[in-house]
């Protein structure tokens, strides 16, 4: 689900409290495909700590097929030939919140 402005119909990246174009706070949530492509990414070495040691984490900017760009995490290695199609899934960290992560498609 992504927010759409009721004032100008612009699609926004979550979380959004108001439209960046017309400043309307009349937002409605609409279904999104969960697909997009990587705009930019970076591997952070040792970013994820666990009892097994440190592991790298890939952060990225993904352009959703609907248009908005979101900041996210990529699961698994990113091939050097980006932009690559990606698909969203939700991961639940230990505290129980859910957040979007993307995996490389096909």
If asked whether residues 19 and 58 sit together in one domain, one would say: no
**Total domains in the fold of the chain:** 2
List pLDDT tens digits, range 51-78.
556 678 888 899 999 999 998 888 887 7
1-13, pLDDT tens digit by residue? 899 999 999 999 9
**Confidence band (pLDDT; 50, 70, 90) for 22?**
very high
Looking at the structure, tell me whether residues 63 and 86 fall in a common domain.
yes
Nearest to 19, CA basis, from 4, 2, 29? 4
25 and 38 belong to one structural domain = no
Q: Taking all residues of the chain, what is their mean pLDDT, rounded to a whole number?
A: 82
The residue among 106, 39, 103, 26 whose CA lies nearest residue 68 is 39
Which of 105, 1, 26 shows the shortest CA–CA distance to 9? 26
């Amino acid at each position: 689900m992504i927010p759409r402005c009721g004032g100008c119909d612009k699609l926004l990246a979550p979380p959004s409290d108001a439209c960046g174009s017309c400043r309307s706070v009349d937002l409605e949530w609409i279904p999104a495909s969960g697909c997009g492509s990587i705009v930019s990414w970076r591997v952070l070495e040792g970013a994820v700590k666990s009892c097994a040691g440190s592991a790298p984490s890939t952060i990225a900017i993904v352009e959703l097929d609907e248009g908005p760009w979101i900041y996210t995490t990529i699961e698994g290695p990113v091939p050097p030939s980006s932009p690559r199609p990606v698909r969203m899934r939700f991961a639940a960290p230990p505290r129980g919140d859910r957040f979007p992560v993307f995996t490389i498609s096909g």
